[in-house]
Amino acid sequence: MRPTFSVSFGGIFVEGRFEKDIFKDSFKFRLFINNGSCGVQPHWHKEIEIIYITQGGVNVGISRKIFHLNKGDIL
């Protein structure tokens, strides 16, 4: 299936739900902090994504399965 849109978010190029060119320099690490005020749209990429919960809880969907994470959980 072909992507339905292409757009850039903070240097991350998204085609449909695929994030590409996440790492444009030699340092292969990015940190995002979400204080719960915004949602994350379904997406996929070939890089590893680690989620650590510092407070509260969140539902995370991976491969059509939902995982409920609470403070101190890591996925």
CA dihedral defined by 13, 17, 23, 24, rounded to 10 degrees? -20
C-alpha–C-alpha distance, residues 39 and 59, integer Å: 11
Contact between residue 41 and residue 61 where contact means Cβ atoms under 8 Å apart? no
pLDDT in tens, 34-72: 777 667 777 777 778 888 999 998 888 887 788 899 999
Q: What is the pTM of this model?
A: 0.61
Contact between residue 57 and residue 68 where contact means Cβ atoms under 8 Å apart? yes
Write down the domain spans for the chain.
31-75
pLDDT in tens, 2-41: 444 444 445 555 456 777 666 666 767 777 787 776 677 7
Give the pLDDT of residue 73: 95
